Amino acid sequence: MEWIQETGRIYAVGEDGKLLAEVTFPEKDGIAQINHTFVDESLRGQGVAGKLLEEVSQKLRKEGKKAVPI
């Protein structure tokens, strides 16, 4: 699965353009607030949410930022 990164969002879509997985993490006062995760039913139970959160962690570490779950 290929992750698409945008400011405050990492997600993946299927070949048909359907959203398959997503995590959002807008910043407030310089701290990323992880406030939403979604995994399509077809991918549940495969560790996709954990992979999403690992992508967020790696991105924020590279940028020297901190995060809190909301």
> Could you report the per-residue pLDDT of 9-49, keeping only the tens digit for each?
999 999 999 999 999 999 999 899 999 999 999 999 999 99
Amino acid in position 46: Q
User: Does residue 58 register a pLDDT over 90?
Assistant: yes
Give the pLDDT confidence score for residue 14 in this predicted structure: 95
Q: How would CATH label the architecture of 4-69? A: 3-Layer(aba) Sandwich (3.40)
Q: Where are the beta strands (DSSP E) in 7-64?
A: 9-13, 19-24, 27-28, 31-34, 36-39
pLDDT tier, 1 (very low <50, low <70, confident <90, very high otherwise): confident
Mean pLDDT of 40-59: 95
User: Does residue 59 register a pLDDT over 90?
Assistant: yes
